[in-house]
Amino acid sequence: MKTSNFRIVALSTEVAQAARRAAANGAPDHAIIVADSRDGFPCRHCLRFAQSGERVILFPYKAIPDGHPYSESGPIFVHAEPCERYGETRKFPTDFRRGRVLRAYNSNYDMIDAEVVNGNEPEAVIEKFLQKPETAFVDARSVTRGCYTFRIQPYENA
Ligand SMILES: [Zn+2]
């Protein structure tokens, strides 16, 4: 029996730390950038926008793994300095109530639905998607640039 509950899944600390190590080692696909706006540099680990002047790492991340029609790798940011992984997993992160699109996928990583969230209720969209029995997870992405932001899973699969 499905419930309407969901769990917010931020980027793992292991992936964030690996990105910091790669950037420190000068990996060419890991760029260190200084944030210069308040809403352009979302950290996928703490799920907050980096503040102007904070350093972030820009690197490619495979949100949808290889071997599927919707396989996708794309650029994401994490804070260059260690930050705390987003922990309020039952609460949609405040910084991303605007400017996101929600995409629902099935267990084969096929996209089965998508809807723009624009300041209204992302929880209502998530619950609608999760009520479909085929929905395995929902991804939040930037509505303008398309970049992966975080994953939402049904709570019982947590
Ligand atoms: Zn962060």
Question: Domain check: are 148 and 130 in the same one?
Answer: yes
- Dump pLDDT digits (tens) for 96-149: 998 999 999 999 999 999 999 876 789 999 999 999 999 999 999 999 999 999
Residue 8: inside a domain, yes or no?
Answer: no
SS3 70: coil
3 in a structural domain = no
User: What are the backbone dihedrals phi and psi of residue 27, each rounded to the nearest 5 degrees, phi first?
Assistant: -55, 130
Cα of 98 to ligand 1 centre, how many Å?
18
Reported pTM:
0.93
Are both 54 and 97 inside the same structural domain? Answer: no
Same domain, 65 and 114: no
Q: How far is the CA of 59 from the centre of ligand 1 (A)?
A: 14
Cα 47 to middle of ligand 1, angstroms: 6
Q: Both 101 and 149 in a single domain?
A: yes
Question: Tokens representing 98?
Answer: 């605007």
Residue 56 to residue 19: CA distance in whole angstroms: 10
Q: Mean pLDDT, to the nearest integer, of 38-65?
A: 97
Same domain? 96 vs 63: no
Which two three-digit tokens encode residue 9? 């899944």
At residue 106, φ and ψ (nearest 5 deg) are -95, -175
Domain count, the chain: 2
49 CA → ligand 1 middle, Å = 8
Q: Is residue 1 part of a domain?
A: no
Strands 42-43 and 6-9: unpaired
What's the CA-to-centroid distance between 7 and ligand 1, angstroms? 19
Provide the domain limits for residue 147: 88-157
Instruction: Read off the pLDDT of residues 68-92 as tens digits, 9 standing for 90 and up.
Output: 999 999 999 999 999 999 999 999 9
